Structure 1
Amino acid sequence: MAVGINAMPVTFVAHALAIIAAIMVLVWTISFRGGLAWEATNKNLIFNLHPVLMLIGFIILGGEAIISYKSLPLEKPVKKVIHLVLHAIALALGIWGICAAFKNHNESGIANLYSLHSWIGIGVISLYGFQWLYSFGLFFYPGGSANLRSSVFPWHAILGLFVYILAVGNAALGFLEKLTFLESGKLDKYGTEAFLVNFMAIVTILFGALVVLTASAKSTSSSPPVDDESNYSYSAI
């Protein structure tokens, strides 16, 4: 059942929060943490790619993919393509971000997959990939029957929102984990960087909440159903 608000106004705030979060993570990794690099003597520069790619690539673009399907005043086939492509880019950048973390650990002699954040992260990226692959085959190409798509879509929406909420929560957990490591290395607990990371986590959570609210809100389209996908909306959940 859709929430009794229009999706479009909510998206304006969500877009603003996305821009703020992107700026914050770039300021953090470049101004406070020294920059970004795939190959570097300072292995911390390799790790810095991880929060940037996971937040901007995975969380923000993944959220925009959900928002686009509900809020854009376009025809359904166009929205489906935008939804699919944005999720594909988010998935690719998320995989790259995880690879950056593994590369940093391997070249720094740090153990992999020892934290709850890393365990959840592998689970999230795996579920995200599974969701994209079966959705591509069922809803895009070669495509399932109308009855099959109609029956599967509510589960597609539920799983998609579940994975996204889990991703946002894990991002906040990752910020906490990194900040804890930094503070154990004598970073000022009440310094500018510590406050920046904490506020960045809050903005990320707020963005994720607005993405879910948009998915549950009424669609911007007022046109009557015209095809077998007339019930395809996140409000189907």
Structure 2
Amino acid sequence: MATSVPTSPAPLLLLARISGLLVSALVISWALLFKSSFRPQSTSQEDLIYAVLHPLLMVIGLILISGEAILVHKWLPGSRGFKKSVHLCLQGLALACGIFGIWTKFHGNDGIAANFFSLHSWMGLICISLFGAQWLMGFMSFWHRGEMRAVRITVLPWHIFLGLCTYGLAVATAETGLLEKITFLQTKKDGSKHTPESMVVNSLGLGLALLSGVVILAAVSPSSQSFRSELTYSQSKKLMT
């Protein structure tokens, strides 16, 4: 029976980078070209800046950086410990961006209660809580390698599973935020449903869906190196028997 060799992750990594650049370009264009729609009833320049920072921090800071952290083990050369340290630092940076991004949304005269009413806000709070718990578990595991070796081996599959779920939840939360925003814009009086802004927002949603699919696929795809190691081990075992 022929054994199929897994393909190199390089094409998936390239597609992930292209998708990330596309998403970055779309969210920056949305924030710069249509910034007046973020706070249409506010005359405060500070409120406008915080409103524009929210999608930038949550998309570029949280989703793109955390996606890059997930893919570190697939492309970064070096020892396993070095890859873990880079992964931990990138996830810490993504977590900081996510916390500050939520703070920008709750900042201002409206307060927390006025902004905590939608499915988007509920999902965002759950997502950042899971993200923080994941990072804390990784931090404790990294600095207590010897003492927590047995525990780390046990929880590693769950850490990977919850990490990918949290990443998917972050993308889903962003999608609900885009839907909430575009629905608000389209239900305004004399608001058209076919505007340049709606095209940008819809394209951003599709770009996020593509990015998340590619990142998760690249993360779960077996690497050629590990496959060759397993194949060599199985062949040696057959020769011994």
TM-score normalised to structure 1 length: 0.84
Following superposition, the deviation at residue 78 of structure 1 comes to 1.4
The change in CA–CA distance for 1:110 and 1:133 in structure 2 (over 3 A counts) is closer
Q: Identify which range, 180-189 or 12-21, moves more after superposition.
A: 180-189
2:48 aligned residue (35, 44, 52): 44
Cα deviation digits, residues 81-124 of structure 1 (max 9, x gap): 111111000000000100011015627x9812100000010000
Instruction: Please tell me whether residue 120 in structure 1 is matched to residue 123 in structure 2.
Output: yes
Kindly, what percent of the aligned residue pairs are identical?
37
Unmatched tracts of structure 1, length 5 or more: 226-237
Name the structure 1 match of 2:136. Answer: 133
What is the identity, as a one-letter code, of the residue corresponding to 1:18? Answer: G
Structure 2 SS opposite 1:10: helix
In structure 1, the residue matched to 2:211 is 207
| Number of residues of Structure 1 aligned to a counterpart in Structure 2 | 219
Q: Deviations over 1:49-87 (max 9, x none)?
A: 111000000010011100112332332111111111110
1:168 is aligned to 171
Larger radius of gyration: 2
Match of 2:20 in 1: 18
Rounded to whole Å, the distance in 2 between the matches of 1:11 and 1:120 is 28
Cα separation, partners in 2 of 1:61 and 1:187, compared to 1, 3 Å: farther
Q: Deviations over 1:148-205 (max 9, x none)?
A: 2211100100110111111111111110101111122244311111010001011011
In the alignment, is the contact (CA less than 8 A) between 1:175 and 1:201 conserved in 2?
Answer: yes
Provide the rounded CA distance (Å) in 1 between the counterparts of 2:166 and 2:27.
22
Q: Distance in 1 between matches of 2:99 and 2:178?
A: 18
CA distance in 2, matches of 1:187, 1:220: 53
Matches within 5 A, 1:54-93: 54-93=58-97
When residues 187 and 63 of structure 1 are mapped into structure 2, their CA distance, relative to the original with a 3 A threshold, is: farther
Ranges in structure 2 where 5+ consecutive residues have no aligned partner: 231-241
CA deviation after TM superposition for structure 1 residue 19, in Å:
0.9
Equivalent residue of 1:121, what SS? helix
